[in-house]
Structure 1
Amino acid sequence: MVGPLDRKLIRDLWRMKGQAVAIAVVMALGVMMQVMMSGLVSSLDETRRGYYERYRLADIVAPVTRAPNHVLHQIAALPGVGAVEGRVSGAALIDLAGQAVPLQAQALSLPYEGDTALNAIRLEAGRLFERGRPDEAVLLDSFAAAHGLRPGDTLSATMNGALRAFRITGLARAPEFLYTAAPGEMVPDDSRFGVLWLSPATMEAAFDMDGAFNQALVGLARGAEEAPVIDAIDRLLDRYGATGAFGREDMFSNRFVSEEIDGLRDSARAIPPIFMAVAAFLLNIVIARMVQAEREEIGLLKAFGYRSGEIGLHYLKLVLAIALLGALLGCLLGVAAGRGMVGLYLQFFKFPFLVFRLEPAAFAIGIAVSVLAATAGGAIVLRRIFALDPAEAMRPPAPADYASAGRWRGLTAWLDQPSRMVLRRFTRTPFRMAGAIIGITCGMALSVGMITIHAGFAHAIELSFEVMDRSEAQVTFTHAVSDKVLFELQSHPSITRVEGRRDVPVILRNGRQSHRGSITALPHDPVLYRALTPGLAPIPMRDEGLVLSRALANKLDLAVGQSLTVEVREGAQPVLDLPVAAISDTVLGAPAYMALDGLNRALGEPGRVSGAALLLDEAEAAAVYVWLKDLPTVAGVSLKHEQRVAFEELMDQGAGWTRFIMSAIAFVITFGIVYNAARIALAERLRDLASLRVIGFSRGEAAYVLLGELGIVTLLALPLGAALGAGLSHLLAAAYSSEIYTIPVVFHATTFGSAALVVIGGALVSGLLVKRDVDRADLVTALKTRD
């Protein structure tokens, strides 16, 4: 049986349905993000784990120059090693009809019939190559899809300087290639990098590895620790030109998948509480003003014998009803959004499948946090109910102190009566007005933050591909060659400028902090590819010191003047102690730079380059690419405009795509906050506005009293929201940045103007909706005391 207080609860909810829905939507967005992000983290993590286990991804990879196969037995005998397999890996250039630029690829040996202990592949179409058929190959399916290749087609590939023709027998994907990018690049592009799996005999013949391997794959025994096994492998393979074994954490593909999952996990912990806090704040304002407006009814209920606990429970039910509505709506939206995001992650990462996994804990946490946030928001209000004495509560509240009104007489003398009413509202209820201003300030800050992030993404692209990189193409050589090759490139009539560089794989260490990457050595005063200061001034390269990107300096906890240890993983593999000469604000990756002459001298290999940046005559660019394709030392050619397109696609997929969701959410919350402020003001002043109508004010004048208040609150909140949004922008930029790219914080006048237009637009729409209610109000009903 429904009691009197429950019937009052239903009436109250219906009466404030607009506010209740707006608050529930804000809360639902927080729960939606919780359910979506938690589900995506669980889905990606479980799919990755299962994929790695089923296809036996190696725990450790140990590259060497050349080691005989019998060494594999010695590796297998090491403590902690559960499985070991050797393979041949090498660079390849794929030549396709209609492609002016040779496409880079990695060629890998694969045992016949897929009988591999580690790093197995998953056939998506066709079959594996057969014994005695050295011209057959299996191709990475994402590369094949980008070029329309199918089983039965043929392609040509240059490996170790020799051109070979292959017939594609199958298309496959593998757990070690969830994220693929060309060597030396960070941005994935399915059309510019492929993988060829070939028979062991074919690979051994192509790379002079008969009875030998240049890459050992190692699986750990159950319970074994990775670090001691890596040390033992390095000692064993040192005589064979080992460049340093590394675990899954440093595997190129797994590193970026892990970073994406960790970023989502951190966002799932940090973002939903922001929405919950805003919702709790709104609930607090709504319930506080409702209690103040219903103090006479509360006193009457107490006089009739209702206890404070019963009345408090009534208002708590009101809060919980709104919170549960938001939580349930958020759960449904989270499932829908998660399933939509799964499709994007399937394009971003090359999982064979990815099904959105519902995480029960996310539902429980979302609902629990909603209820707790709502309860916290109403807790202070409920204390007021217990403190009200029946006789005191039924007495009208003491009128405001108008003694100070005379101070404003000179200011308000020229205002009309409705305008003076608006101004008096601010001077006599400053705390209520402050609450409304704070709420709209939060909405303005969210809008500023998200608009700034969009500007930051656009600026990152412009900075990386127009300011830092002013070349048109990058050439990568098969190995570090004499810098005389630069003169050969410069001799081509359509190449107008050439700048050499050298990329050397290294491990950078600062105490316990370490980073596996590379040093990019550039000329002393580079022109085509430069490191820049925060003011976009070029940084000269130093012979005795490194220029670190800010992301790398933060990761290694280094500042200018400090030294770090550089373990070179190439050639004689010297260990260098170099100071940090400068910090560069880069966008793409986490690079370290040094002067080309200085690095070559430190390595004892003067006059060496591993690549070059080119400036071309655009009209003859196609002829240059054909010429480069025939040079035996060229391992690959990257065109800047293609990299830019790939980078833009990267930013619009995966975690980068969530900025569009967050922008929509920010705008919804902004409108919800403004609309709530207007509805709360209407609920408080409906009786006063009805009185104005009765004594002769027009509808427009009565609405002006209410909307003028909303307008002043909104205008006062705009500068405060702009300041708060500037701080929030830095937090959001840090959250969206990763080792793949760094999002700069860029403020433009249009950023604050656009955010202000969002808030003002929300205020106008809210004002129109509220004015409609004012115009439709039944004066007799509004003047009655609610039962």
Structure 2
Amino acid sequence: MSPLDRKLTRDLWRMKGQALAIAVVMALGVMMQVMMSGLVTSLDETRRSYYERYRLADLAASVVRAPDHLLHRIAALPGVQAVEGRVSGAALIDLPDRAVPVQAQALSLPYDGDPALNAIRLEAGRLFERGKPEEAVLLDSFAAAHGLRPGDTLEATMNGARHSFRITGLARAPEFLYSAAPGEGIPDDARFGVLWLSPAAMAAAFDMDGAFNELLIGLARGAGAQPVTDAVDRVLEPYGSTGAYGREDMFSNRFVSEEIDGLRDSAASIPPIFMAVAAFLLNIVIARMVQAEREEIGLLKAFGYRSGEIGGHYLKLVLAIALLGALMGCLFGILAGRAMVQLYLNFFKFPFLVFRLDPASFAIGIAVSVLAATAGGAIVLRRIFALDPAEAMRPPAPADYSRAGRWRGLTSWLDQPSRMVLRRFTRTPFRMAGAIVGITFGMALSVGMITIQSSFNHAIALNFEVMDRSEAAVTFTHAVSDKVLFELASHPGIERVEGRRDVAVILRNGRQTHRGSITGLPESPVLNRALTPDLEPIHMRREGLVLSSALAAKLKLETGQTLTAEVREGAQPVLELPVMGISDTVMGAPAYMALDGINAALGEPGRITGAALRLDEARADKVYVWLKGLPTVAGVALKQDSREAFERMMNEGAGWSRFIMSAVAFIITFGIVYNAARIALAERSRDLASLRVIGFSRGEAAYVLLGELGLVTLLALPFGAALGAGFAHILAAAYSSELYTVTVVFQPATFGNAALVVLAGAAISGLLVKRDVDRADLVTALKTRD
């Protein structure tokens, strides 16, 4: 081992605590990069292979009723590889453990369970048999939520008739990775089920003998989706088709894609923030260390070592720390990614999900770590190498403190140790500024993550306490007369009723499109409101739309502009509607219009598809029993159930990663403060030893150092708060999607809690450093080369 390598070993051992702290900070940044990139790769690959194995359709279309012989005609269209016609219908499942009926979707399935498209994966039991229409296969996640197993029976109402089914098997399918009740965007296994029934049972229940009402299409390799869509629409138009649509508009795939895209955006924007903070900290440490060893560098040059050899020595030092951090980060990233995979496996109902590493994330993490580590030392070494050995061995020229007297009047009332702390700031302002900037980044990370946590909680409260002031929502099987509102309002236990109408549309603004719905509300809604950013209610307009901020951003629209609404039901008119306002929303990307206005535009006055209810809590259970018996009721959703499901959704998936990042942010914050304290101790060890020799007590000597750390920390807090506000906006944009929108909300407690995190880190770091000050060997610390 060469002398420089032995020096390297001694240096690393001497600064082992600080080196480990820096490596951990670097490791956490790399961990975020590896974990999030790996999750994106894993989810993307698993989704693709799952879709391929079970043949998820590329296109789908709904019709009122079309004869089976059309399937041969559609299969002969250019670009079509596979066709499957099936019967789909709504069902209400009556469970003894629930007061309200549970919405479900009933689907026909061939007896052999092997359709050309949208196959199922049988998890338990068996398929139904011919001649036994009472047998059914149930979605396994719904069965698990209610403790149902093969052999159990359940009651369901379909098309107004009550049926009793015996469960023969449990299954899952790629089209139900993300399952939610119709009209709701929140997944809840307990409140939405799927029944696969025999073709004969479905045909009898929905009067579809020799016909289908849902078409599935698989495209040939290389075929364009739009030409096939247009051709299919022409064939199905006479049969009440609402238009064919691709995978991007299929409910489950749309939201799975949103979640993966949100995670991809987070992986692209969030880890770089953490890695940049870690890189900045490492640069400061390396630059300070190289500057402190200026005389040693001069001595090495005097003994004949070339600048390249000395530079290589320091490069090995920073590379050792950086590589240790990068390798630790890769290991932590793999472990964290595998833990997160289990969460996504349950959230998305994948039958299998293996964490797959993204090689690029390893390369990026290691490269950033190494480049950041070498940058700080290279800048300082460039100046040192330019010196002659004699000049480098000479201590730097003393600074000019002639103007320090201007603080004399201000500091006259301070004791001697306090004046020493203040003089340190006036004599080395740039060095102190570097320490302040480092702690500022730590404070900013804490502010950003605490703000995001508060914003998630605010989003839940805003949606379910301010916007939605109902207790329950009723959905009807079809658009019914608004006279049903009087029937609801007159029933005992229902205190207020507010109707709505949801109309399926395709919204277009030039090349920007969105498949969704327009929700018609009363002109001055009370139970279900759209709000401005200032939380003021928005008056619904008969002549135009109020768009959610997420939808307005997607369609690139502002107030006063006009969009095209292609209605996908009834006579399917094409409407040109102006944007009358933009509302803040939490869930989904809705578009609102006055109820009378949308009914007039469709030429169907006095129609509603649902109602919001305010209930008398004491009589709510009797209301639910009564609603179960109404033939036009497709489902009843309780707001409390929706809230709990929404909280689970926001605390799982991509939203769950905020808990990991909060922990990472707090660890990095402590690492920054601790390293600032260690740097100050390394620079002032001789000064502190001198103070002890001339009579200062251990406490007074430590006060000189810790007072400097405390003052630096306090000065960094306001700057960190301001920078943290910017971080919070970046994080909110990364987490927001069409599923939910996270709006940044700043509260005084946020900055107070973040400050407490930084101050707690400073206090712990101070205690650790004070212990080293108390243990210092005064003789060794005072030794110097004359």
TM range (shorter): over 0.9
Q: CA deviation at 1:767?
A: 0.5
Aligned-partner Cα distance in 1 for 2:146–2:69? 40
Aligned-partner Cα distance in 1 for 2:445–2:287? 25
Hey, what does 1:475 align to over in structure 2?
474
Hey, what does 2:488 align to over in structure 1?
489
TM-score (norm 2): 0.99
Residue 701 of structure 1 pairs with residue 708 of structure 2: no
Hey, what does 2:403 align to over in structure 1?
404
Hey, what does 1:55 align to over in structure 2?
54
The one-letter code sitting in structure 2 at the alignment partner of 1:768 is L
Question: Is the 8 Å Cα contact of residues 736 and 742 (structure 2) preserved in structure 1?
Answer: yes
Q: CA deviation at 1:471?
A: 0.5
Hey, what does 1:221 align to over in structure 2?
220
Superposed, 1:238-317 pairs within 5 Å as 238-317=237-316
Q: Secondary structure at the match of 1:6?
A: helix
The one-letter code sitting in structure 1 at the alignment partner of 2:528 is Y
Aligned-partner Cα distance in 1 for 2:439–2:121? 53
Hey, what does 1:323 align to over in structure 2?
322
Aligned-partner Cα distance in 1 for 2:347–2:177? 8
Residue 718 of structure 1 pairs with residue 737 of structure 2: no
Question: Is the 8 Å Cα contact of residues 510 and 565 (structure 1) preserved in structure 2?
Answer: yes
Superposed, 1:410-425 pairs within 5 Å as 410-425=409-424
Deviates more, 1:147-156 or 1:486-495: 486-495
Hey, what does 2:33 align to over in structure 1?
34
Question: Is the 8 Å Cα contact of residues 269 and 730 (structure 2) preserved in structure 1?
Answer: no
Question: Is the 8 Å Cα contact of residues 83 and 219 (structure 1) preserved in structure 2?
Answer: yes
Q: CA deviation at 1:6?
A: 0.9
Hey, what does 2:623 align to over in structure 1?
624
Hey, what does 1:664 align to over in structure 2?
663
The one-letter code sitting in structure 2 at the alignment partner of 1:99 is R
Aligned-partner Cα distance in 1 for 2:246–2:472? 33
Aligned-partner Cα distance in 2 for 1:260–1:374? 34
Hey, what does 1:745 align to over in structure 2?
744
Hey, what does 1:197 align to over in structure 2?
196
Aligned-partner Cα distance in 1 for 2:386–2:4? 19
The one-letter code sitting in structure 2 at the alignment partner of 1:410 is G
Q: CA deviation at 1:464?
A: 0.5
Residue 86 of structure 1 pairs with residue 85 of structure 2: yes
The one-letter code sitting in structure 1 at the alignment partner of 2:473 is Q
Superposed, 1:196-595 pairs within 5 Å as 196-595=195-594
Aligned-partner Cα distance in 2 for 1:570–1:18? 68
The one-letter code sitting in structure 2 at the alignment partner of 1:267 is S
Superposed, 1:171-186 pairs within 5 Å as 171-186=170-185
Question: Is the 8 Å Cα contact of residues 404 and 427 (structure 2) preserved in structure 1?
Answer: no
Residue 648 of structure 1 pairs with residue 642 of structure 2: no
Deviations 1:314-369 (A, max 9, x none): 11111111100001101111111011101111111010111212333332332222
The one-letter code sitting in structure 1 at the alignment partner of 2:637 is S
Question: Is the 8 Å Cα contact of residues 31 and 366 (structure 1) preserved in structure 2?
Answer: yes
Hey, what does 2:778 align to over in structure 1?
779
Aligned-partner Cα distance in 1 for 2:541–2:491? 30
Gaps of 5+ in 1: none
The one-letter code sitting in structure 2 at the alignment partner of 1:414 is W
Question: Is the 8 Å Cα contact of residues 475 and 612 (structure 1) preserved in structure 2?
Answer: yes
Aligned-partner Cα distance in 2 for 1:786–1:59? 78
TM-score (norm 1): 0.99
Q: CA deviation at 1:718?
A: 0.5
Aligned-partner Cα distance in 2 for 1:319–1:365? 17
Deviations 1:625-651 (A, max 9, x none): 110010010000000001011111111
Q: CA deviation at 1:786?
A: 8.2
Q: Secondary structure at the match of 1:300?
A: helix
Q: CA deviation at 1:243?
A: 0.4
Deviations 1:301-324 (A, max 9, x none): 111111111111111111111100
Q: CA deviation at 1:100?
A: 1.5
Deviates more, 1:647-656 or 1:408-417: 408-417
Deviations 1:372-396 (A, max 9, x none): 2222333312312322221111111
Aligned-partner Cα distance in 1 for 2:334–2:581? 47
Question: Is the 8 Å Cα contact of residues 258 and 739 (structure 2) preserved in structure 1?
Answer: no
Deviations 1:399-449 (A, max 9, x none): 010110121111122222211111111111111101100111111111111
Aligned-partner Cα distance in 2 for 1:617–1:494? 5
Aligned-partner Cα distance in 2 for 1:659–1:364? 24
Question: Is the 8 Å Cα contact of residues 107 and 195 (structure 2) preserved in structure 1?
Answer: yes
Question: Is the 8 Å Cα contact of residues 287 and 376 (structure 2) preserved in structure 1?
Answer: no
Aligned-partner Cα distance in 2 for 1:132–1:19? 75
Residue identity (%): 83
Aligned-partner Cα distance in 1 for 2:783–2:108? 86
Q: Secondary structure at the match of 1:710?
A: helix
The one-letter code sitting in structure 2 at the alignment partner of 1:270 is S
Hey, what does 2:120 align to over in structure 1?
121
Hey, what does 1:765 align to over in structure 2?
764
Q: Secondary structure at the match of 2:502?
A: strand
The one-letter code sitting in structure 2 at the alignment partner of 1:286 is V
The one-letter code sitting in structure 1 at the alignment partner of 2:552 is A
The one-letter code sitting in structure 2 at the alignment partner of 1:244 is G
The one-letter code sitting in structure 2 at the alignment partner of 1:58 is A
Aligned-partner Cα distance in 2 for 1:95–1:287? 68
Q: Secondary structure at the match of 2:353?
A: coil
Question: Is the 8 Å Cα contact of residues 503 and 519 (structure 1) preserved in structure 2?
Answer: yes
Question: Is the 8 Å Cα contact of residues 508 and 565 (structure 1) preserved in structure 2?
Answer: yes
C-alpha RMSD over aligned residues: 1.1
The one-letter code sitting in structure 1 at the alignment partner of 2:101 is P
Question: Is the 8 Å Cα contact of residues 136 and 166 (structure 1) preserved in structure 2?
Answer: yes
Q: CA deviation at 1:18?
A: 1.9
Hey, what does 1:755 align to over in structure 2?
754
Aligned-partner Cα distance in 2 for 1:374–1:520? 55
Deviations 1:231-260 (A, max 9, x none): 111121111111011111111111111122
Q: CA deviation at 1:225?
A: 1.2
Question: Is the 8 Å Cα contact of residues 88 and 214 (structure 2) preserved in structure 1?
Answer: yes
Question: Is the 8 Å Cα contact of residues 279 and 374 (structure 1) preserved in structure 2?
Answer: no
The one-letter code sitting in structure 2 at the alignment partner of 1:429 is T
The one-letter code sitting in structure 1 at the alignment partner of 2:178 is Y
The one-letter code sitting in structure 2 at the alignment partner of 1:758 is V
Gaps of 5+ in 2: none
The one-letter code sitting in structure 2 at the alignment partner of 1:773 is D
Aligned-partner Cα distance in 1 for 2:228–2:380? 61
Question: Is the 8 Å Cα contact of residues 446 and 670 (structure 1) preserved in structure 2?
Answer: yes
The one-letter code sitting in structure 2 at the alignment partner of 1:144 is A
Aligned-partner Cα distance in 1 for 2:684–2:462? 53
Hey, what does 1:8 align to over in structure 2?
7
Aligned-partner Cα distance in 2 for 1:780–1:711? 28
Residue 155 of structure 1 pairs with residue 157 of structure 2: no
Q: Secondary structure at the match of 2:185?
A: coil
The one-letter code sitting in structure 1 at the alignment partner of 2:643 is R
Question: Is the 8 Å Cα contact of residues 509 and 563 (structure 2) preserved in structure 1?
Answer: yes
Q: CA deviation at 1:268?
A: 2.1
Deviates more, 1:286-295 or 1:561-570: 286-295
Aligned-partner Cα distance in 2 for 1:43–1:217? 27
Q: Secondary structure at the match of 1:113?
A: coil
Q: CA deviation at 1:23?
A: 1.2
Deviations 1:644-700 (A, max 9, x none): 111111111111111110110110011000001000000000011111111111111
Aligned-partner Cα distance in 1 for 2:525–2:273? 45
Aligned-partner Cα distance in 2 for 1:620–1:714? 58
